[in-house]
Amino acid sequence: MQQIFKHYPIQVIGQEGFAVLTERQRMILNAIVDDYIRSAEPVGSRSISKRGGVGFSPATIRNEMADLEELGFLEQPHTSAGRIPSTKGYRYYVDHLVKLEEVNEGDLQRVRSFFAKKMNQMEQIIQHAAMILSNMTNYTSIVLGPETFDNSLKAFQLVPLNDSSAVAIIVTNTGHVENRTISIPPDFDMSELEKVVNILNTKLAGVPLHRLQSKLFTEVGEELGRYVDHCEMIMDSLGKALSSESEHRVFLSGASNMLTQPEFKDVDKVKTIMDWLDETPVLMKAFTSLPSGIQVRIGSENDHDAIHTCSLITASYSIDGKSLGTIGLLGPTRMDYGKVISLMDVLSKDMAVLLGRWYK
């Protein structure tokens, strides 16, 4: 067994920009990350040596650990403490070493039975998905609802409430419903309102939401003017109502799970993270323009300082290659990557299927 591990010179750089690690170094790194993920305590050479399947003395392990530290894969909180993985170490682990666990039968059951439930509101689905994810992982989940950007108008309705206001309702081809209260001019009567709605429906059906506003003014405005007086005010209200439309909704769940992690027993640290979570715009920024599939951002790889001690795993759920939204999971860098990644894979795919049915 011992011959397997040759002690190669270590500064050779591989194609990923990483030094090529010997098989033994990989094994040790793997052991350290696994241990640390479990215990949250610096890992010493002795505990690695005592592991089953490791045939080396603590001294040998120490030598390798010193090398791995020099290469930047490990860190030492202080002299005379064990080693913990650095961001680079986690990165290597995630890229090359992590064994994706099969999602355990119980968890799989829970996900499946969740998605089997019939839910009649998209918001409900997303909210519950966020909840189930945070429950199963004990981390904090962040789910971004489906983007309405690519959606198109299915139907438009205007329901008068009283003399001066009405509710404008927009239904998209995906079944998503947006509504705004708008004010209508005082000398505007029912029959005219009906005309307006009819024109809007015939002219705007099928138009993508993001082009709705411009279309409203260019093509429809003219024609509308022919039939209806005082339409400027209505147009104005509608325009305003539509412009604020593309607000994403962010669903958070299990933020308090952060408090259970030993690395966050310091209240101040948690505070900065919580504040970050509260700022929806920043959150959105971290989520948008992510490549599809599962992305792992470890520690300092994250753009925002507040979560430099966290890892953020995101999985965009998509259908026919079109991205619908994003599931995110925030935890300490010391995350159970093996379990979480595969779980999110399952969840995002199931979610895509479920929402896909919706969209058809």
* C-alpha to C-alpha distance for 141 and 253, rounded to whole angstroms: 5
Cβ atoms 29, 92 nearer than 8 A: yes
Could you tell me which residues are beta bridge partners of residue 181?
A: 167
Q: 58 or 160, CB closer to DNA?
A: 58
Query: What x-and-dash track marks residues 152-191 binding a second copy by CB under 8 A?
Result: --xx-x-x-xx--x-x-x-x-xxx-x-xxxx---------
Should residue 254 be labelled a site residue for a second copy when binding is judged by CB under 8 A? yes
| Binding residue for DNA, selected from 38, 40, 57, 181, defined by CB under 7 A | 57
| Binding residue for DNA, selected from 66, 155, 270, 274, defined by CB under 7 A | 66
Should residue 85 be labelled a site residue for DNA when binding is judged by CB under 7 A? no
Cβ atoms 136, 331 nearer than 8 A: no
The two tokens of residue 167 are: 């509710």
Could you tell me which residues are beta bridge partners of residue 99?
A: none
The two tokens of residue 10 are: 């270590």
What angle separates helix 105-116 from helix 122-137, to the nearest 10 degrees?
170
Should residue 292 be labelled a site residue for DNA when binding is judged by CB under 7 A? no
| Binding residue for DNA, selected from 62, 128, 215, 308, defined by CB under 7 A | 62
- Give 12's contacts (C-beta < 8 A, 6+ positions apart): 19, 20
Should residue 38 be labelled a site residue for a second copy when binding is judged by CB under 8 A? no
Should residue 248 be labelled a site residue for DNA when binding is judged by CB under 7 A? no
* C-alpha to C-alpha distance for 174 and 212, rounded to whole angstroms: 16
Cβ atoms 301, 89 nearer than 8 A: no
- Give 209's contacts (C-beta < 8 A, 6+ positions apart): 148, 149, 151, 152, 153, 170, 172, 242, 245, 246
Should residue 145 be labelled a site residue for DNA when binding is judged by CB under 7 A? no
Residue 220 contact partner, candidates a second copy, DNA, none, CB within 5 to 8 A by sort of partner:
none
Cβ atoms 225, 193 nearer than 8 A: no
Choices 36-44, 97-105, 185-193, 237-245; region in contact with a second copy by CB under 8 A: 237-245
Residue 66 contact partner, candidates DNA, a second copy, none, CB within 5 to 8 A by sort of partner:
DNA
Q: 29 or 312, CB closer to a second copy?
A: 312
Could you tell me which residues are beta bridge partners of residue 167?
A: 159, 181
* C-alpha to C-alpha distance for 120 and 302, rounded to whole angstroms: 36
Q: 56 or 264, CB closer to a second copy?
A: 264
**Which residue type occupies 177?**
V
Should residue 263 be labelled a site residue for DNA when binding is judged by CB under 7 A? no
Q: Which of residues 116-135 bind a second copy (CB under 8 A)?
A: 120-122
* C-alpha to C-alpha distance for 3 and 8, rounded to whole angstroms: 12
DSSP 15: T
Q: 22 or 333, CB closer to DNA?
A: 22
Q: 8 or 359, CB closer to a second copy?
A: 359
Should residue 284 be labelled a site residue for a second copy when binding is judged by CB under 8 A? no
Q: Which of helix, strand or coil describes residue 93?
A: helix
Q: 24 or 176, CB closer to DNA?
A: 24
The two tokens of residue 193 are: 């309102």
| Least distance from a second copy to the Cβ atom of residue 240, Å | 7
**How many CA atoms within 13 Å lie on the side-chain side of 283?**
23
| Least distance from a second copy to the Cβ atom of residue 144, Å | 17
| Binding residue for a second copy, selected from 52, 267, 281, 320, defined by CB under 8 A | 267
Cβ atoms 121, 150 nearer than 8 A: no
Should residue 244 be labelled a site residue for a second copy when binding is judged by CB under 8 A? yes
| Least distance from a second copy to the Cβ atom of residue 189, Å | 17
Task: Tell me which residues touch a second copy (CB under 8 A).
Answer: 120-122, 154-155, 157, 159, 161-162, 165, 167, 169, 171, 173-175, 177, 179-182, 240-241, 244, 253-256, 259-260, 264-265, 267-268, 270-271, 274-275, 277-278, 358, 360
Task: Tell me which residues touch DNA (CB under 7 A).
Answer: 2, 5-7, 42-47, 55-60, 62-63, 65-66, 69, 76, 78-83
